[in-house]
Amino acid sequence: MLSLAQLNHATQAEFSQALQAVYPKAPWIAERAGSARPLATLAALKHALVRTVREASRDEQLALIRAHADPADPAAPGAQHAAGAAPAPADAPSDAGAGHGTPDELARIHALRADYSARFGWPFVLALRGPRGSGLRAAQIIATLERRIDNPPEFEFAEALRQLHRMAELRLNDAFGFVPEQGQRVWDWCERLARHSEQPGGLTVTYLSDAHRAAAAEIAATMRDCGFDQVDIDAVGNVVGVYHGDDPAARRLLTGSHYDTVRNAGKYDGRIGHFIPMACVRALHLAGRRLPFGLEVVAFAEEEGQRYKATFLGSGALVGNFRPEWLDQPDRDGVRMRDAMRQAGLPGDLAAIATLRRDPARYLGFVEVHIEQGPVLNALDLPLGIVSSINASVRHMGEIIGMASHAGTTPMQVRRDAACAAAELALFVERRAAADGDSVGTVGMLEVPAGSINVVPGRCRFSLDLRAPSDAQRDRLRDDVLAELAALCARRGLRYQVEEAMRESAAPSDAAWQHRWEQAVAALGLPLHRLPSGAGHDAMKLHTAMPQAMLFVRGEHAGISHNPLESSTADDLDLACAAFTRLLDQVATS
């Protein structure tokens, strides 16, 4: 069994020898990583090895990928291990696991691997123990091959390296006898909760649906199992768990995230934000430990705005931002929110909802852990990131009006083409947002009503989604985009109309709480990376009442979110649990 003390005191030759099986056939990685000693944590060792590969030449990286499929690889003894229920060896090559596939599945894997190698010029690389570390099924391997074979070459090159790093991580876990138990628990909770869905074969959980109510009941039951002192479902459907401090009357730290989803969602968006603190409370309870403050964990009932136009309903209720008109909103089936609440056993009246407003004086602040929902941490090979601010945003819905005319008989110079104007606007949004560096702009909807293949578009509807780290930067972006819309319509002889649909102010992280997250991450032996959040979060609402700060956890598959491919590894989730625990310790001793 390896130990950090052993590695830190070893000679360079001994260090390289001890780690030679971590990246088989690439001894140069351990040789170069040795200069990073002393290493304080296993996470620091993993990062030192990954950083060494990142800093290597392209030829060295390509050789590393190509060596992976060499039949003489020392990993070959695991080549026939099953990819089904039994765990595959951490160092098994990419075709390991074929033993539990059907003949058709094995043939499909073989054919896809050949096609993959022919397209990219390097072998398919996949960590067969998967994100939890317990193994992938043959069907999962096939689905991964079918998806990745269509990736751009540069993207797939980076993904092959990431898979090699995942294999190395699992090998190091085995060598150190380390099991990411907290991370596996959170991963399992997310997978189990995803069984409740309105969508067969996918994940859709909208506000107060049967699936939503079942998810709330399961979260509440899990909270009780973890040892929370109080567990309730409040008047808007939030699941609230309280773990008292030494003094039950002490101030509390508020934390959590949402459990509703978009349609056809991922399993980790929002949900790790209450499961990670729940895992930490479970550990405190098992140790018989109380903190000098209380911990209040809220699984917010609604954040996504999918069933009703009431985004951030759950967290908004806690800061007195529940709008009375929401109760009379109908869903697509005509069911008013008030009636949906009552059908779910909730009061459905403003008086009960008003009682949910929290007194900021009773709270130390609000912290939230969230999957990144973006590619930054994944591209940097970093498991955790510190959020500096939640971006300001504004949305508009608009329409450009020209004149529909015959596609064959209308000369190009006299056309009043609304769709071309919208396309020109979309390209301007792309250029203008990119000029800011950290602003983003999206024209996500383009629609030609009653469009026809042989008709010059007379109308084009469009959406604008503009985001930036500050309100002022967002407003400058918006002003420039709207000015361009006016100018191009004037130039083309078109009319337009545009209406603001949503506006949210930026939520910069509180400096003191951000610093606590930074100290927690640094204590794990990881480099600090600060980044803004382009997505909205419940922390935006709590920001209006108390100091807040967020921690991001790396997502797999380039950080994709709002998508069934959304995922994280048990090891990354375990690090997030460790960071949350260290943050609690800091507050307890401050």
Three-class HEC string of 451-487 = CCCCEECCEEEEEEEEEECCHHHHHHHHHHHHHHHHH
Q: Could you tell me if 326 and 308 are in contact, meaning their C-beta atoms sit under 8 angstroms apart?
A: yes
Neighbours of 270 (CB within 10 A): 29
Instruction: Give 305-331 pLDDT, tens digit per residue.
Output: 899 988 899 999 999 999 999 999 999
Burial (CB count within 10 angstroms: exposed 0-12, middle 13-18, buried 19+), residue 332:
exposed
At which residue do the structure tokens 């209406």 appear? 499
Q: In whole angstroms, give the CA distance from residue 33 to residue 35.
A: 5
Per-residue model confidence (pLDDT) at position 263: 93
Q: In whole angstroms, give the CA distance from residue 232 to residue 250.
A: 19
Determine the 3-state secondary structure of 589 from DSSP.
helix
> What are the structural domains of the chain?
4-178 (1.10.3330.10), 187-304+312-319+360-388+507-589 (3.40.630.10), 392-504 (3.30.70.360)
Q: Could you tell me if 256 and 554 are in contact, meaning their C-beta atoms sit under 8 angstroms apart?
A: no
Per-residue model confidence (pLDDT) at position 68: 82
Per-residue model confidence (pLDDT) at position 501: 84
Per-residue model confidence (pLDDT) at position 504: 86
Per-residue model confidence (pLDDT) at position 8: 97
Query: For the chain, which ranges sit under pLDDT 70?
Result: 69-100
Q: Could you tell me if 126 and 75 are in contact, meaning their C-beta atoms sit under 8 angstroms apart?
A: no
Q: Per the omega criterion (within 30 degrees of 0), is the bond before 38 cis?
A: yes
Token digits of residue 455: 């008709």
Per-residue model confidence (pLDDT) at position 69: 61
Per-residue model confidence (pLDDT) at position 311: 86
Q: In whole angstroms, give the CA distance from residue 286 to residue 211.
A: 31
The secondary element (H helix, E strand) that includes residue 256 is: strand 252-258
Q: In whole angstroms, give the CA distance from residue 521 to residue 525.
A: 7
Instruction: Give 373-385 pLDDT, tens digit per residue.
Output: 999 999 999 999 9
Per-residue model confidence (pLDDT) at position 88: 38
Q: In whole angstroms, give the CA distance from residue 53 to residue 50.
A: 5
